[in-house]
Amino acid sequence: MTTPAAETKQTDQLDRSRVWFESLRDRICAEIEAIEVEAPLDLFPGEPAQFDLRARERDNGMGGGVGGFLTNGRLFEKACVHTSTARGILTPEMAQTMPGAKGVEQTYASTSISLIMHPRSPKVPTVHMNTRYFHTTDYWFGGGADLTPMLNRERHQTTDDAVLFHEFMKGACDPYNPDWHAKYKAWCDEYFFLPHRKVARGVGGIFFDRHNTGDFETDFAFTQAVGEAFLSSYPKIVRRRMMEGWDAADRAEQLEVRGLYVEFNLLYDRGTTFGLRAGGNVETILSSMPPAVTWG
């Protein structure tokens, strides 16, 4: 049971998280659109692309969201930024695995932002970021951000891009707890791993789930810091790497490495496999698929 006072507090937490995720979505879309305009003309001809924002509602009327789709841009071959907010009742299977779910009729609410960027240039890394708020009788945050360089010679920890990305993620964690970055970086490495190929999807970042220190304000501020770290780091990486040319061999390598992204998402990613099995919106869930992929 949730008391009326606790329910008001939870609704407030959900609303504040939702407003944050939606404003972060708009700022990220604006930044990506700015990069579309700035990208050097000799390497990226054509018209700058903009996000097409599509509202969607769940079939059960218990929520909805906004899917931001950018396709066939100058620098971004495909970029998707989605926010989603939902209320509902946990299935018994879900209730068993969730903190704070006490009965079979346990209600939940969630709000989230999720994004993936597939640049056209093989020199510019792909990136994924997702943060979410969830409550049952308890609340927690989850999410993370991870960077995927598309050339094999760049898929290690000591490149400038990897170092910069990790520095910003560490910067988001350290003010809250000096142990979190190491913990959440290790969790990211463990999560984004393809056991069948014995390779990591990319160079990692951070990954966290069921994050609840007992103080919502701290946890919310930390989640905001992760979003800010993404917004401060990835565009910086894109802007310096977009000045570099590439050749056909680089492009071929990028299309092959994208296969790892497909394999990971369809074989292992819990959000993707669970979402599809649970009847989620296919267009949104599979917007993570790269625009073009090859398998040798």
* Interacting residue ranges for a second copy, rule: CB under 8 A: 71, 195-197, 255, 259, 262-263, 266-267, 273, 276-277, 279-280, 282, 285-286, 289-296
DSSP letter (8 states) at residue 48: P
For residue 225, give Cα distances in angstroms to 48, 166, 174: 29, 14, 10
Cβ at position 118, least distance to a second copy in Å? 10
Residue 36 CB neighbour total at 10 angstroms? 21
With a CB cutoff of 8 Å and minimum separation 6, the contacts of 115 are 25, 28, 79, 80, 81, 82, 127, 128, 129, 130
Q: Are 233 and 168 in contact (CB under 8 A)?
A: yes
Are the C-beta atoms of 136 and 98 separated by less than 8 Å? yes
Rg for the chain, CA atoms, rounded: 19
Closer residue to a second copy (CB): 23 or 294: 294
Active site residue 128: yes
Q: How far is the CB of 294 from a second copy (least distance, A)?
A: 5
Complex with a second copy: residue 49 or 289, whichever CB lies closer: 289
Question: Toward a second copy, which CB reaches closer, 14 or 117?
Answer: 117
Minimum CB separation of residue 82 from a second copy in Å reads 15
Cβ 274 to a second copy, closest distance in Å?
Answer: 11
The nearest distance, CB 276 to a second copy, in angstroms, is 4
196 or 215: whose CB is closer to a second copy? Answer: 196
Give the torsion through C-alpha atoms of 132, 134, 140, 141, to 10 deg. 0
In the DSSP assignment, the letter for residue 177 is: -
Nearest to 27 by CA among 16, 39, 35: 35
CB of 265: closest distance to a second copy in angstroms? 9
Q: For the residues of 69-120, what is the DSSP string, one character each? A: EEES-SSEEEEEEEEEEEEEE--HHHHHHSTT--STT-EEEEEEEEEEEEES
**260 Cβ contact list (under 8 Å, min separation 6):** 148, 194, 197, 199, 201
Enzyme catalytic residues: 128
